[in-house]
């Protein structure tokens, strides 16, 4: 036997072990087998990446799944594919552009009028480290889409969620929130030189703070809300970062990325877990990293900052401050 050849059995064992190690590092599969028969779920940004995989998983569990996306061609295609894969015909596409408060209001109005119940709202859509763009309403794009759009959407659907209780709201944040800071003097980067990374971190911190304050306001309603870090996943979200554009990152860092970066399917397990797990009934205002509850950054636990951000967010999107 050639000493440079590795037996297939040994190679298979090594590859299998590496896959298990990668999955352990990235976090495991949702342990709950709960179904969603008769439950309505809304997932923003569900035509690709983590959102699509979450929609696929919840459709497999029997849910009435609404994919809320900006690009309707891609959204319709994803809904069609998910219906085909799961044989669940209750998977539908709806238009929602989180960079437009008008679109958010139109979507919420349609849901309120057409859906009898909404049991799960998963605020999944995001933009990451894009150029200095602004939304239709003049907000810095990352704050506008990642936080303000979802802030308005959630508030507009609260009555429906309360009427459907027990119900759940799930907000996708990121570990990047630990590097964030809420600059109340310049939330929309109108005074400072734009820093796309800092803007992204601020938007993700805003999501955790929003979750904390919303949980306080929802006490006793039967509606829970939690935030999560899904892990770093191989999705279109990082298209503006240039992470895989150089030969160095592809060749040298490739093995590290393979070990630490999740597939969209694996990254969707946390959203799935928070949506269905029976042991999370009544759990609210928490931050999850993978399948484990963890303490967020200190600023994310500052109740005064959370209340102030709520008031400012409400003012910016045109909601009555309460």
Tell me the catalytic residues. 200
Residue 84: phi and psi, rounded to 5, are -70, -40
85 within 8 A of 7, measured Cβ to Cβ: no
**Peptide bond between residue 91 and the one before it cis (omega within 30 degrees of 0):** no
- Output the CA torsion sign for 144, 176, 256, 52: negative
d(CA 205, CA 143): 10
Q: What secondary structure letter does DSSP report for 225? A: E
Burial 102-136 (b: 16+ CB within 10 A, else e): ebbeebbeebeeebeebbbbbbbbbbbbbeeeebe
Nearest Cα to 199, choosing from 177, 166, 168? 177
């Amino acid at each position: 036997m050639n000493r440079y050849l590795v037996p297939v059995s040994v190679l298979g064992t090594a590859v299998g072990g590496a896959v298990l190690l990668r999955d352990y590092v990235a976090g495991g599969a949702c342990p709950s087998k709960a179904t969603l028969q008769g439950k309505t779920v809304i997932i923003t940004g569900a035509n690709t990446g983590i959102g699509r995989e979450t929609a696929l998983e919840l459709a497999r569990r029997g849910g009435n799944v609404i994919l809320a996306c900006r690009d309707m061609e891609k959204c319709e295609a994803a809904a069609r594919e998910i219906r085909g894969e799961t044989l669940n015909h209750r998977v539908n596409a709806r238009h929602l552009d989180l960079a437009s408060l008008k679109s958010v209001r139109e979507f919420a109005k349609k849901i309120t009028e057409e859906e009898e119940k909404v049991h799960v709202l998963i605020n999944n859509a995001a933009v990451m480290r894009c150029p200095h763009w602004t939304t239709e309403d003049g907000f810095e794009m990352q704050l506008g889409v990642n936080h303000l759009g979802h802030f308005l959407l959630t508030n507009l659907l609260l009555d429906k969620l309360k009427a459907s209780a027990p119900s759940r709201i799930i907000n996708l944040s990121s570990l990047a929130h630990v590097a964030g800071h809420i600059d109340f003097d310049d939330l929309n980067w109108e005074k400072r030189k734009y820093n796309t990374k800092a803007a992204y971190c601020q938007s993700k911190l805003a999501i955790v703070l929003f979750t904390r304050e919303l949980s306080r306001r929802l006490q006793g309603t039967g509606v829970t809300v939690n935030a999560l870090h899904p892990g770093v996943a191989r999705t279109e979200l990082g298209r503006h970062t240039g992470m895989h554009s150089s030969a160095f990152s592809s060749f040298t860092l490739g093995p590290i990325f393979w070990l630490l970066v999740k597939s969209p399917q694996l990254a969707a397990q946390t959203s799935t877990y928070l949506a269905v797990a029976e042991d999370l009934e009544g759990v609210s205002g928490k931050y999850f990293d993978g399948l484990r509850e963890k303490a967020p950054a200190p600023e994310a636990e500052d109740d005064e900052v959370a209340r102030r951000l709520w008031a400012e967010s409400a003012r910016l999107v045109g909601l009555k401050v309460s």
